[in-house]
Amino acid sequence: MTFPADSPYRHHALFYASPQELLTAAVPFLRTGLDADEVAVLVCRDEVNELLAGGLAADPRLVILSPGRFYTTAAGAVAGFRELMREHVAAGARRVRIICEVAFGAEPEEWAEWTRFEAVVNVALAEYSLWNVCAYDTTLLPDQVLTDASQNHPYLLDFESRPNDRYAAPEQMLRDLAAHEPDPAQAGTPLLDVALTSLSQLAVLREQVRLTAAVAGASDWRQNDLMIAVNEVATNGLRHGRPPVRVRLWPGPDRLVCTVTDRGQGFDDPLAGYRPATGEALRRTSGGLWLTRQCCDRVDTMLTPEGFTVRLVQSLTDPDLPYPGGLV
C-alpha cells in the first residue's frame, strides 16, 4: 500500500447501510470543518443533501450543489471539481470538505468509467487542500462498485478518518480497468471508414464525422463534441503516430462508437488526458486527449494488431445538464 506523498488532499470512502450510519460519520466530519472556518460542500442526491443538511441544523454556511453540475463525463467531473477548488481558493478558503455521491449509472460500462474517475482524482486533485468523502450506499450500489471503491480511496471514514490498507495506486487501478474488448456496436458495418495521410484532410474528416453522426441520430451537441474529439485524436495520430490514420464510426442503439488507429506504438500512460497538459505533455499528445475526454462519454486507448487505437464512445442524446463550466 502506497499513500500519496506530501499531498494536502485526503480522499475518503464512507460505506453506509442506513441514514443513521451516514449521519453518524458525515455530520461530525462536516461540523469539525465548519467550526474551523473551513468550507463544507454537499454534492449528493437531493434526499441525501437534505438529510445531511438537516443533521447540521441547516447551517447557512453549507454549500449545497447538484451532482448534475459534475457527473456528466469522468474527465468533465475532474474539471468541475478543479474549478470548484479554484473558486474557493481564490475566495480565501484554507481547506474544503466535500461529501459527495458519484453517479455510477446503471450499466457495467458506466460503473467502470466512474471507478476510473475515483482513481484519477487521487492524482488530479492532489494539489488542493481538500478533504473529500465519497458516500457509498451499500444497499443500492452493485458489489463490483463497492469492491473497487475499497481500493480507490487512501482513507476510510466511519467514526474517524483512518488509512485504508486496501488502497491501490491509481495507475494500477486504471490498467486493471482498461477496456480492450470490442464494443458490441463494432460487430456491425461502420457508417464511416476513411484513411488519412495528411493534416490537410482533417477539414473533410470533420464534416464527414458530423454528417455521419447526424444520420445516426445524434443531437447537434453530440455531433459537435464527437467532431472535435475525432479531430483531436486524428491530429495526434498524424503528428505523433505513424500514418495512415484510419477512422471508423459505428452506430449503436443509443450511442456512437468511433476508433482512430495509427500504425505507431502510442503511449503507456493511463492518466493521460485526465488533467490539463503542460510542457512536454502539451506539445505531444495529452493536450488533445484532455479535450477529447471532455467531449466523450468514454475514451479507451489500446494497442491492437493494426497499431495504436483510441476508441471514443458518445451517447446520441444530450446530458441532462451542461458540462461543468470552464476547462481548468
Residues 169 and 245 in one domain: no
3-state secondary structure of 278: coil
Domain annotation covers residue 139: yes
* Number of domains composing the chain: 2
What is the rounded end-to-end Cα distance, in angstroms, of the chain?
A: 30
Residues 50 and 172 in one domain: yes
Q: What is the pLDDT of residues 193-204, one digit of tens each?
A: 999 999 999 999
Residues 117 and 209 in one domain: no
Q: Containing H/E element for 247?
A: strand 245-251
Say which residues have a Cβ less than 8 Å from residue 204's Cβ, sequence separation at least 6. none
Q: What cell does 126 get?
A: 492532489
Final residue before a domain boundary, out of 142, 177, 212: 177
pLDDT at 263: 94
Q: What is the pLDDT of residues 80-111, one digit of tens each?
A: 999 999 999 999 999 999 999 999 988 888 89
Q: What cell does 208 get?
A: 464527414
pLDDT at 283: 55
- Which segments in the chain show pLDDT lower than 70? 1-6, 277-287, 319-328
Residues 123 and 242 in one domain: no
Final residue before a domain boundary, out of 147, 177, 207: 177
3-state secondary structure of 72: coil
From the list 79, 68, 148, the residue with the least C-alpha distance to 111 is 148
Residues 196 and 165 in one domain: no
Q: Containing H/E element for 301?
A: strand 298-304
Q: What cell does 153 get?
A: 480511496
Residues 300 and 204 in one domain: yes
Domain annotation covers residue 328: no
Residues 168 and 189 in one domain: no
238 conformational bin, left if phi > 0, alpha if psi -120 to 50, beta if neither: alpha
pLDDT at 324: 32
pLDDT at 78: 93
From the list 263, 215, 258, 266, the residue with the least C-alpha distance to 242 is 263
Domain annotation covers residue 23: yes
Domain annotation covers residue 323: no
Domain annotation covers residue 2: no
Say which residues have a Cβ less than 8 Å from residue 296's Cβ, sequence separation at least 6. 73, 225, 226, 229, 312, 313, 314
Residues 17 and 151 in one domain: yes
Report the DSSP pairing between strands 10-16 and 155-157: parallel
CA distance 322 to 78: 14
Asked whether the CA dihedral 313, 42, 15, 133 is positive or negative, the reply is positive
Domain annotation covers residue 71: yes
CA distance 76 to 121: 12
Give pTM, 2 decimals. Answer: 0.86
Domain annotation covers residue 224: yes
- 8 A C-beta contact, residue 63 and residue 42: yes
Say which residues have a Cβ less than 8 Å from residue 57's Cβ, sequence separation at least 6. none
pLDDT at 46: 94
CA distance 234 to 249: 13
Residues 28 and 78 in one domain: yes
- 8 A C-beta contact, residue 263 and residue 306: yes
pLDDT at 269: 87
Residues 190 and 164 in one domain: no
pLDDT at 276: 72
Residues 110 and 64 in one domain: yes
Residues 168 and 247 in one domain: no
Q: Residue 148: give its domain's CATH number.
A: 3.40.50.300
Domain annotation covers residue 209: yes
Q: Residue 308: give its domain's CATH number.
A: 3.30.565.10
Q: What is the pLDDT of residues 269-309, one digit of tens each?
A: 888 888 776 655 555 554 689 899 989 999 999 988 899 99
Say which residues have a Cβ less than 8 Å from residue 267's Cβ, sequence separation at least 6. 285, 301, 308
Final residue before a domain boundary, out of 145, 177, 209: 177
pLDDT at 261: 97
Domain range spanning residue 212?
A: 184-315
pLDDT at 280: 56
